[in-house]
Amino acid sequence: MDKHSVWESIKKVKKAYILYSGILIGFTIWMLFLDTHSWTLHSELNQEIDRLEKEKEVIKKIIEQDQKNIKVLQNQDSLERFARENYGHKKSNETIFIIEPNDSLIQKESQEW
């Protein structure tokens, strides 16, 4: 074999490897960052899904608690107690005294200044 033909064949193989490597690198960059189905987009969407799943669980717990409260408030006595404690409601013939801890009085005075 001639040295010249061996070098020519090696150069051709190098060019092919370089060409295919360039195509592979370009395809990889395209799929990871630029395509609409890119890895970055999928990771962002997966993070959003995880966040929404956590939010869904929190909302389910709130709904369960509210359903328990609704069942408790079906009773007239419980409903009256809830209204008195949270909204200051009273019957027409009773007087309500609200006793606040000392801390709340200090906070009110500092807010007035």
Query: What is the per-residue pLDDT across 15-63, written as a single tens digit (0 to 9) for each?
Result: 888 889 999 999 888 877 777 777 878 889 999 999 999 999 999 999 9
pLDDT, position 46: 94
Closest to 84 measured CA to CA, from 103, 69, 98: 98
What are the tens digits of pLDDT across the range 67-102? 998 898 888 888 888 888 888 777 778 777 777 777
Contact 9, 15 (CB under 8 A): no
What pTM was computed for the model? 0.49
